Each structure stands twice: as C-alpha cells, then as structure tokens.
Structure 1
Amino acid sequence: MGTHATRLTATLAVVGALALGAAGCSADGDRSTGRDQHGQEGESPGGGAEEDPGDAAGAAPQLLGDGSTANTGPQPEQPPAPEPLAPGEEPPQFVVFSWDGAGEDANELFSRFRQLGEEHDADMTFFLSGLYLLPESERLSYEPPGRDPGASDIGYLSDESIAATLDQLRLAWQEGNEIGTHFNGHFCGPTGVSSWSKDDWVSEIEQAKWMVQNWRTTTGLTEADPLPFDYDTELVGGRAPCLEGQENLLPAAAEMGFRYDSSGNSLQVWPERRHGIWDISLQSVPMPGHSFETLAMDYNFMVNQSGEQSGDPAMWPTWQAEMHDGLIAAFDRAYEGNRAPLIIGNHFNQWNGGIYMDAVADVITELCPRDGVECVSFRQLVDWLDAQDPEVLDRLRSLGVGQAPPDGWASFLAG
C-alpha cells in the first residue's frame, strides 16, 4: 500500500489545558533523557523476551504477509462469552485501564503493567503507536497527512526498544490483553489531527496497520517470532493524539471496521454509539482538594499539579495521593451509583519521578480483585455492550453521574 513510516521531530508540540478541558496527552517530554511523552528513550531497553511466545493456540501459526503477524487461532485468556443481564440484575462494575503509545524502553513500564495485570486478573488495552515498530532509517515510508514524508512529533525507538516492544506485544496478547492503536505521528494543535479529514484518518489507520504487519521487512528481524494475531481482525479501536480530531475520525474508524473509539472526553455515564461504533471516551473524575474535575489520565493530573514540567519533589507524595484518591473516588461514585464503566488512560512515563505510574499500580491492585469488579479491555467491554438488550442500555444511559437507581437495581431493570 504505498509508503508508510514516521519521522519524529525534536520539536515536540505541547497540548493541554488545566482542569476539565485538559487534553488527554502531551507531546512534551523529559528532554534531559530524550524521552518523549510516552516515556520512550533511544537507548537499549532493559526488557526482553520473558518466554518463548510460540503459538497462542497450540497449533502451527498461519503466517500472514511477510510473517510479521500470524493467525494462531482464538485469543487465549478471554472471559466467557457475555450474556444479557437477567431481569433485575445489577451490572458489573467495569474498569478499563488503557495505555497510549505502548512501547518498551529501559524503564520497562510495558512489562511492569503487563505483569501487574496478570497478577490481579486485569486485562488492559495497549494502544500501540505504529511507528514504534518502524526503524528511523525507514521513516520516509510514512506519509503523514499534511506533513512531509517521515515527519512526526514523537521520537522513534531504538532497534533494541523495537525488539523489546515486540516481545511485550506478543506476551500481552497471549495473556488476554488487547492491542489497539494510538495511530502514528502524534500531531496535536490546530494543524494536527484536529484538522484532518475523514480520508486523512483512513490513510493514518492504513499506515498504522501496515507498520504492524510489515515490521519484519522494515526492521530486518526476519528470524523473530511473528506477532500472534491478525491485525486486520485484532485492531478494533484506538485513541487519537491529545484527544483531538474525533469528529472526522469516527466515520473513518467505522469505515475501517473499528468497533469503538476512545478519543473524546465525557462524564461518567454509560456510553453510546456514534457513527455506528461505541464512543467510549475518557471521563472527568474528581481532583481531590480542588473544586474542578480533570480527565482520568496521568498527563492531566500532572498539568493540574506542576504544569508541563516536573515540579517540586517535596510535592510528589501529595500529587501521587491526589491521582490515586481521585481515581478511587471516581470508582466509588460509579460503583455506588450508575455503574458506568470507569475509563482510565495513561502513558508509560516517569513524570514527576514516576508517581503517576505508582498511583495507577496501586489502583489496579486495590480495585481489580474486588467482587463484582471486572477489569477488562475495551474490546471485552464492547463485547458485553453488544450482548445487551438495547432497551436495557437506554435505561442505563438515563442515569446521571453517580446516580443510583432510586428503587434499586431489581426494580430499575425488572424487565
């Protein structure tokens, strides 16, 4: 399909506003280490293959294309097929932990949270930036809309980090997690993805898929194991850079076979379809100690605490507690109220000493083992939504933020 790759410029676009209107992520990074907004560095990663990925279903994989991906059968470690709620049955409390960028570098955060999910029965969604599998030497094969070939606002990974990222993607999928997309060049601001047409988004999605489906050719890692999934069927959703451009992205995503999108911002209410796909956007959650709310994402907590740069280390414990307590308050508000799925987004980063990673790790540890709580991927969530009676979903959507059924679930969903 034409040329596909991505050039990451050293000049990084910074997007983000305080409080409720804050953008979902930034292209600003820790320049002292050359790390971009997803915590990536151009250094050899500490992570590596933790086991022989082999083939996920026990049968010989069917290699696809140049062998970068393979059909290995049904994905392992999936929950039972969802069923409609029985009359009067209260909904489970779903929590989705998702990661923008999803690359493995020397900080080993992809492997950290993949392993944490295994320990606490939490399936997650890893939104892979396509160019994280494209060597910088091949950057001119990426043609971003409205930019020169090879342009990008995030940095390419080193060859070692590409190999480590592939290891984590194999393991993550085999352990039941979803591999979505964060697209490619991460262009924010007025001339970025918010200015793209539907056709621009279609091109970006096609190129993101191409990078995943052709890494053996672009990297020369011809002896490496394939990714154990067919990305044409695995890729069913994504999140746009800086939560921008969703209006034209949605019809493009529907045309490309997506089942959901998580590129907007919303309140803690039950999702609805737009353009035929589920709009499951990031949500506004309490900001402890403040009168406003912010999006449930590490970057947004940071911007409200220290701006776009690291702040006073003496404040790090306070800020970590604010993010932890804000997410727990959002969970309690949903669990005791309308049971709307809680949608949390993050990046693999070391902002403010890594406090946001520690806060999210503590939330996963506390919430996912609870009875009645299901920590799921976006794909698993939309499987459940698709299995429900539309009239039941309409009734769930009638509940406001934190609003419990006035006479209890048995009466509210009596049938």
Structure 2
Amino acid sequence: MKFPKQPAGGAGAKLRAGGLTAAISLLITSLNTAVAEPARPEQIVLISFDGAHDNRLWERSLKTAEQTGARFTYFLSCTFLISRDSRKSYKAPGHSAGRSNVGFAPDRADVVERLGHIWAAHQQGHEIGSHGCGHFDGKEWSKNDWIAEFEQFDSIASTAWTDNEMQPPAGWSDFVASDIKGFRAPYLSTGTALHPALAAHGLSYDASTVSNGPASPDFTQPVARFALPMVPEGPSGRPIIAMDYNLYVRHSGAEEDPSKSAEFETRALEAFRTAFEAEYSGERRPLQLGFHFVEMNGGAYWRALERFALETCGRPEVACITYQEAMRRLKPQQVDQDS
C-alpha cells in the first residue's frame, strides 16, 4: 500500500515537531524534579556497648552483628584487661592503687579470652573505644587527671597480652596506638577538663553528652561530640536517654524484676522503633543507642536490641555503623554545608 507524499511542513513535520517538544518538556521536568528533590541521606544507626567485659556477651554481640550486618562500637573499661591478682598495677586519679568501681578480671584466662574477642571484633570491622579504666566519676578531675587515666588505658591495653603470659597477635601494638580514637565517660559525667584532655591525648571524638532528641554530631570543636538522644518511651511518651541502664532505672528502679522482662522488652523495642521511624521518615539525623555488657531485667534490653537490629539494619538506606565510620561519612558533608 502506498501513502501519499506529505508536503514539506505538513502533518508529518508537525508530528515530529510535536514529539520533540514533548521530549524536551519531559527532560526539563525531570531536571527540575532532580533539583527539587535531592537524594536523601542514609539513616545512620550507632549502637554501642559500655564496659565490654562479659565474655559470653562478647560472643552474643558478635553473633548479632553477623546476623544483622551491623558494626558496633565497644567502649572498653581497661581494668577488665587486668587480673585480680595484678590489680595494684592500676591507680585511678585520687584513689589508691588497685581500686576500681567495676572490679577486675577474675583471672588471666578470662583476660586472654576477652583479648581474643577484642581482636576478632577489630578484624571484623567493629570499633574499640575507651571507657577509661576503673569507671570513676571524673567530673571534678583536672586535665592532667584525665590524661593520666588515658595514658594508663593505653599502657594497660598495649601490654595486656604479655602481662597475661600470651604473645599478642601481629598488629596489636599498632591497633592500640592508632585505632582507639573515641571515648565515653563513665556515668556520662564529663566536667570542664575532659575535652581539653581528649584533644591533648589525640582522641578524635567524645560520645558522653546527651541531646534533646537525635542530633547531628558537632564537628566544630577540636574533638567531635556525639550525643545520646532523649527519646519518647512508655505509655506517656516521656523522654528518656536511649540507654539500657536508664530504661532499667525507669522500669524497675534499678532493681531486677525478671517477672516483667517481656513487658520491659516490648517497651524498649517500641521506644527504639519510634525514635528510628521519626528520623527515617524525617531529617535522618544519626540515631544513637547505648548498652552495657550487663543483662538487666532478665535480658530485656539485649533482646530488644537484637530484635531492633535484625529488623532495621538491613533496610534500604540504613547504615548500622561505628562512630569512626560515621565521622568519615558525616564530617565531609558538614564541611560542604558550611562552606
């Protein structure tokens, strides 16, 4: 079948011109949409543990990480690298030698097992931070007091293997000297001398402060500052620091009540979920959750953590990462925004 020829500028030309106009319009719309709707930042979740002593909980946390893909930060108390019979080797500022608010390791075998977990965690991409040594309240300490505590942490950690009659793995000394960059103060108690001491000792960040809801880290200071957030919790949604010990105090007055363990687990999990969803669908500021190597109220808060990590860390645009990794990702963004 033959079609009649179309004269120049006829219907065929109009059709082609119309198609071109539509294509250009679609391109402009797409560009405007891209400009108007920039890619959303990933939702960072920071899960940390203070103390990092109980070897059974080391194993449990590493298993959770394997199941969820999360990377944790462990703020280690260095007295757990000292056996009880060697406790006099540590002296906290203002205290006699051999004193510790959290005790010491029961024996050398316990220390060696813990050292193995620390090294395995490091090799698997988790972060080891400092929680000081004896878990003393340092709000009245001077800058020199804090530095003395930091120096003891470094010394005890660097010689922990040989002090307990074991050969350290290759790379241990470099790990202690170069990879431990963060700190969380016992009791979240800081005082005016802490941050100057952290800077003088070469530490990169402090995770001891508290914020009214999730907050972006502050990179404007010589030592970056991360804050545990106040989050809504319970039937009334009353804010609480997003940390297991604070939940333990609210739920049972810091007294064990295993009969209500399931109830406390549910309340904790709902608090974590609510705080996460508010950020995930909102500003996407990092969500920080703090825990201890202690199973309070029959393990309620550890179970809530495990359920939360399992359902959250694999979601699209979510990164359950360490504090140091968060610094690497977030600091350039803040610099770009400020410039």
TM-score, length of structure 1 as denominator length: 0.69
Larger radius of gyration: 2
How far 1:116 moved relative to its partner? 1.3
Instruction: Report if aligned partners of 2:112, 2:161 keep a CA contact under 8 Å in 1.
Output: no
Q: 1:386 maps to which residue?
A: 331
Q: 2:169 maps to which residue?
A: 225
Q: 2:115 maps to which residue?
A: 166
Q: Does 2:65 match 1:117?
A: yes
Write the distance in 2 (CA, Å) between the matches of 1:246 and 1:226. Answer: 38
Of 41, 47, 63, the residue aligned with 1:91 is 41
Write the distance in 2 (CA, Å) between the matches of 1:125 and 1:227. Answer: 19
Report SS of the residue matched to 2:45: strand
Paired letter, 2:119 = R
Structure ranking higher on relative contact order (CA contacts 8 Å, 6+ apart): 1
Write the distance in 1 (CA, Å) between the matches of 2:284 and 2:191. Answer: 25
1:10-49 Cα deviation digits (max 9, x unpaired): xxxxxxxxxxxxxxxxxxxxxxxxxxxxxxxxxxxxxxxx
How far 1:258 moved relative to its partner? 1.3
Q: Does 2:52 match 1:102?
A: yes
Moved more, 291-300 or 371-380: 291-300
Write the distance in 1 (CA, Å) between the matches of 2:133 and 2:208. Answer: 14
Q: 1:149 maps to which residue?
A: 97
Q: How many residues align?
A: 300
Instruction: Report if aligned partners of 1:316, 1:352 keep a CA contact under 8 Å in 2.
Output: yes
Q: 1:324 maps to which residue?
A: 269
Report SS of the residue matched to 2:96: coil
Paired letter, 2:122 = W
Report SS of the residue matched to 1:115: helix
Alignment of 1:32-43 (within 5 A): none
1:315-369 Cα deviation digits (max 9, x unpaired): 2211110111101111011111111100111011121111111111111101100
Write the distance in 1 (CA, Å) between the matches of 2:61 and 2:305. Answer: 9
Write the distance in 2 (CA, Å) between the matches of 1:315 and 1:238. Answer: 33
Write the distance in 2 (CA, Å) between the matches of 1:365 and 1:232. Answer: 33
What's the Cα RMSD here? 1.8
Instruction: Report if aligned partners of 1:178, 1:379 keep a CA contact under 8 Å in 2.
Output: yes
Q: Does 2:159 match 1:214?
A: yes
Write the distance in 1 (CA, Å) between the matches of 2:157 and 2:210. Answer: 28
Paired letter, 2:223 = I
Q: 1:19 maps to which residue?
A: none
Which ranges in structure 1 are unaligned for 5 or more consecutive residues?
1-86, 395-414
Distance 1:345 1:389, change over 3 A: closer
Moved more, 342-351 or 374-383: 342-351
How far 1:387 moved relative to its partner? 2.2
Which ranges in structure 2 are unaligned for 5 or more consecutive residues?
1-36
Distance 1:314 1:138, change over 3 A: closer
How far 1:183 moved relative to its partner? 0.6
How far 1:210 moved relative to its partner? 0.8
Report % sequence identity. Answer: 31
